[in-house]
Amino acid sequence: MLNETDLSRTDLNLLVLFEAVLDTRHVGRAAERLNLSPSAVSHGLGRLRRMLDDPLFLKTPKGVEPTDRANALAPQIADILARVRGVVATAKPFDPANSTRRFVIGAPDGISAVILPPLLARLQSAAPNIDIAVRQLLPKQGEHEPGLAWRDALGELESRAMDVAIMPTDDVPIRFTTRALYEEDFVFALRAKHPLARKLTLEGYCAAQHLVVSDTGDAYGFVDNALVKRKLARRVALTVPNFMFALATLADTDLISALPRSFVAMHGARFGIIAVEPEIKLPHFKLTLVAPTVALKDAGLAWFSAELERAAKARRSRR
């Protein structure tokens, strides 16, 4: 957006001004928010318009409306300001009790739904003003090498689109730090009144209709790999994009799904879902917290990572 020559002459406050006018859609209200006069805001907008070569905001009877160019720039400017605010926040000693920082976690929802309840319980008393954002992570479909399957997530960590990720792999480049959180395996999940709930044999399992969690709609997964070794197969009648959607769907159908054990133990009962031990060997996964090593020099992020580790250990009591 801005080249190197522009940056030497750019006033960062103009981006703050842009943010305020975009939020309020009004020069006067933006001026009040920034403790400036309306004329100062108008003058700043003039400078910003010349710098970005666009009107940015057009007058209306009720205030102003952003141009297409302003709307296109808004996410980039918001990202720039968030990063700058993060840098400023880390310049002060980190005090979780008074911090108003926002941390972004990337994880599959089958993991975040297990970690979040104990984490939020801890933060409620220890850090009541800290905010959390969760980004849904899923591996690349069809990619069986862990380092490649989660490559996009590692890229988001390095770009600081998220602060930490929780993934079922520790196969990451050495520039990342990993911390083991807990181990997970899978169970067969079905509604308590399912015709096969009392006795789910492997034969009955293969004859049933199945649900697979897949963001892309790819129906083939690790369960199918295990079945192939026994010269067996199943019919996947439905794919859904996340684990919570899977629970809600299982509650109203006779579909069966393989879901994370901890996830079903924590959330299955509210949907009337039970867990059945598989008669075939399914893989175990080591769930790992991953963050760029350089990022963990930030005292706030180091503290938050430690809180995630504690939440992972506390998950059993929540179950």
Tell me which CATH code domain 4-90 carries. Answer: 1.10.10.10
Identical fold at 102-180+287-318 and 186-276? yes
CA angle 99, 103, 105 (to 5 degrees): 155
Sign for the CA dihedral angle at 266, 271, 272, 275 comes to: negative
150 alpha-carbon distance from chain centroid: 14
Q: Which CATH number fits domain 186-276: 3.30.1490.20, 3.40.109.10, 3.40.50.720, 3.40.190.10?
A: 3.40.190.10
What DSSP designation does 134 have?
E
Taking the domains of the chain in order of start, what are their residue ranges? 4-90, 102-180+287-318, 186-276
SS3 assignment, position 100:
coil
28 token code pair? 């006067």
Please write down the HEC assignment for all residues of 203-240.
HHHHHCEEEEECCCCCCCCHHHHHHHHCCCCCEEEEEE
The neighbouring-strand residues paired with 105 are 134, 164
**Element of type H or E holding 167:** strand 164-167
Architecture of domain 102-180+287-318: 3-Layer(aba) Sandwich (3.40)
CA separation for the pair 140, 147 (Å, rounded): 11
Query: Which tokens is 132 given?
Result: 């959390």
Q: Rounded CA gap, 91 and 104, in Å?
A: 19
Tokens of 5: 């020559």
Instruction: State the pLDDT at residue 212.
Output: 94
pLDDT tens over the chain, length 319 residues:
444 445 556 677 888 899 889 988 999 999 998 888 999 999 999 999 998 899 999 999 989 999 999 988 888 888 788 777 767 766 668 899 999 889 999 999 999 999 999 999 999 999 999 999 999 887 766 555 545 557 788 888 887 888 999 998 888 889 999 999 999 999 999 999 999 999 999 999 999 999 999 888 888 888 999 999 999 999 999 999 999 999 999 999 999 999 999 999 999 999 999 999 999 988 888 999 999 998 888 889 999 999 999 999 887 555 5
Residue 31: phi and psi, rounded to 5, are -65, -40
* Prediction pTM value: 0.68
In this prediction, residue 90 carries a pLDDT of 62
